[in-house]
A and B are shown apart, each in its own frame.
Chain A
Amino acid sequence: MPLFEQYHAIIPDFSRFQQSLHNPLPVHLRVNRLLITPQRLKEYLAKKDVHVKQVLSPHDTLYVAPGLESPGNLLEYYLGYIHPQALTSALAAIALSPEPGAYLLDMCAAPGGKSAHCAELMNNTGLVVANDLYAMRHMALGHTLSRLGVLNAVMTAYQAQQFPLRQRFDYVLADVPCSGEGRFRKTRADAQFREHKGGVKLTDLQRRIILRGFDLLKPGGEMLYSTCTYNPDENESVVHYLLQKRPATLCPIQVTADVEPGILKWRDQRYDQRLSRAERFYPHRIDSVGFFMARIIKE
């Protein structure tokens, strides 16, 4: 059976979607405005024959680097000027758009690209709580934050679904553990494909995390729920569960990209109509990791 055949009915242009899985993932770079301007970075890279192209017109920190195989070897990586990051991952922080001076929680923060991006959007003001349960992942998280010049972050190691309720945040980023289907490309021999991995346990964890994330918001606070999977059981179904359990509102996501709305029906399940405000990112549309985002507001 072809890969992801179970999604034939929900992924538009399904044959193009499947073809896109044969293409290698392009290298995307995010420019770290805390340490460099996009213009100056482009000049430095051009001198070493690395010619980057802006990928989405309003977002002048997001670039594709054709032909660049190892961005981690660039001096500009060491200097903290760039962060190699899937385009869709970079769009998560932009979708949340935290204001300077805000109080933000990244519930599952390692390896830290999104936390650092939020800190940059907040111009190193306010406070980012970068949480990740696993101590072994804290090294990567700490390295990313310091390399990118983040000065407004603290790290914690709670289970996301049990993060203490003693305080409330302006923003919560819940980029939850998922089956990772969106990362799969057929070009990599070691590609991790977890089509049937996780199952009920994973969706149960995602449900508990989204509820806790919502409960941690101040009134008027915003949460972004995201995954890198196509599976509606980990996406729309989880957000639908939140909408049933809590007085949450779903808002449109303000990113300029070729996206599809969240689905309202999957197998025998029907989802809240508001799920059409969620967004699905497919590799044949945006040439990046498959992704799902829902922007949630606590009234």
Chain B
Amino acid sequence: MFDGYFLFRRKKAWFLLQNSPQLVHASQLKISKAGLRAFQKVGHFIKPTTRLIQSFGRHATKGTCQVDEKQFKALLRGEEIPVDFQLAKGYVMLTLGTNRILGLGFFHNHAIRSQLPQKELTSHVMI
């Protein structure tokens, strides 16, 4: 799936950039940021970013959790939502209904807590 992309590390984050013949020319420029921040290291985990998940999550075949509006609002309030998964502790992709990819949750002890960006998803959000 990531054929055709460059993944490169900068400090504790990895960035994903579409490969193209023009990159040879652009490498002569002083670049302040390249591509999409795709992963970052959080403790022992390599955590995908919300924006990576929203761009590529449609290809996910496991580790996904579909929530309804009520559960989504609970996550936004900072509450955990109980789920019955046979998964190891770690990140899961959250979708609202089948198609709208929200970002990540963290699964542990039969519950998911939000890893969605709080600054961008305020209580004013129109779901």
The residues of A with any CB-CB pair to B shorter than 8 Å are: 34-35, 40, 44, 48, 50, 70, 73-75, 78-80, 101, 103, 124-127, 129, 135, 138, 142, 145-147, 149-158, 164, 166-167
CB <8 Å contact, B22 and A126:
yes
Binary flags per residue of B10-36, CB closer than 8 Å to A gives 1, else 0: 000000111010110110111111111
CB <8 Å contact, A164 and B31:
no
A138 to B55, CA, bound (A): 21
CB <8 Å contact, B28 and A103:
no
CB <8 Å contact, A138 and B32:
yes
Which 6 pairs of residues, A with B, have the shortest CB-CB distance? A127-B22, A152-B18, A103-B22, A167-B25, A155-B33, A154-B34
Residues on B with C-beta less than 8 A from A135 are 32
Residues on A with C-beta less than 8 A from B29 are 129, 154, 156, 158, 164, 166-167
Residues on B with C-beta less than 8 A from A154 are 17, 26, 29, 31, 33-35
> Could you list 8 A-B pairs, sorted by A, with CB under 8 Å?
A35-B55, A73-B122, A80-B51, A125-B20, A126-B18, A127-B22, A155-B32, A164-B29
B113 interface residue (CB < 8 Å to A)? no
Main secondary structure of the interface of B (DSSP, over half): mixed
Binary flags per residue of B91-127, CB closer than 8 Å to A gives 1, else 0: 0000010011110000000000000000011101111
Which residue of A is nearest B35, CB measured?
A151
Which of B23, B25, B30, B121 contacts A78 (CB under 8 A)?
A: B121
CB <8 Å contact, B31 and A151:
no
Residues on B with C-beta less than 8 A from A126 are 18, 20, 22
Within the complex, what minimum Cβ distance (angstroms) separates B29 from chain A? 5
A272 to B101, CA, bound (A): 52
The residues of B with any CB-CB pair to A shorter than 8 Å are: 5, 16-18, 20, 22-23, 25-26, 28-37, 49, 51, 54-55, 96, 99-102, 120-122, 124-127
Within the complex, what minimum Cβ distance (angstroms) separates B117 from chain A? 8
Given contact pairs A151-B17, A158-B30, A167-B28, enumerate 14 new A-B contacts (beta carbons under 8 Å). Answer: A35-B55, A50-B126, A74-B126, A75-B96, A75-B126, A80-B54, A125-B18, A138-B33, A149-B54, A150-B36, A151-B16, A152-B35, A155-B31, A167-B29
Which residue of B is nearest A163, CB measured?
B29
Within the complex, what minimum Cβ distance (angstroms) separates A212 from chain B? 14
Which of A40, A147, A155 contacts B51 (CB under 8 A)?
A: A147
Residues on A with C-beta less than 8 A from B54 are 35, 79-80, 149
A125 to B96, CA, bound (A): 29
A146 to B127, CA, bound (A): 21
CB <8 Å contact, A75 and B100:
yes
Residues on B with C-beta less than 8 A from A124 are 18
Residues on B with C-beta less than 8 A from A149 are 36, 51, 54-55
Which residue of B is nearest A147, CB measured?
B51
- Count chain A CB atoms within 10 A of each CB in B25, B49, B126 and give the residue with the most: B126
Residues on A with C-beta less than 8 A from B23 are 127
Within the complex, what minimum Cβ distance (angstroms) separates A71 from chain B? 9
A135 to B32, CA, bound (A): 9
A48 to B100, CA, bound (A): 15
A158 to B29, CA, bound (A): 9
- Count chain B CB atoms within 10 A of each CB in A48, A152, A153 and give the residue with the most: A152
CB <8 Å contact, A153 and B35:
yes
Residues on A with C-beta less than 8 A from B22 are 103, 126-127
Within the complex, what minimum Cβ distance (angstroms) separates A28 from chain B? 18
Within the complex, what minimum Cβ distance (angstroms) separates A223 from chain B? 17
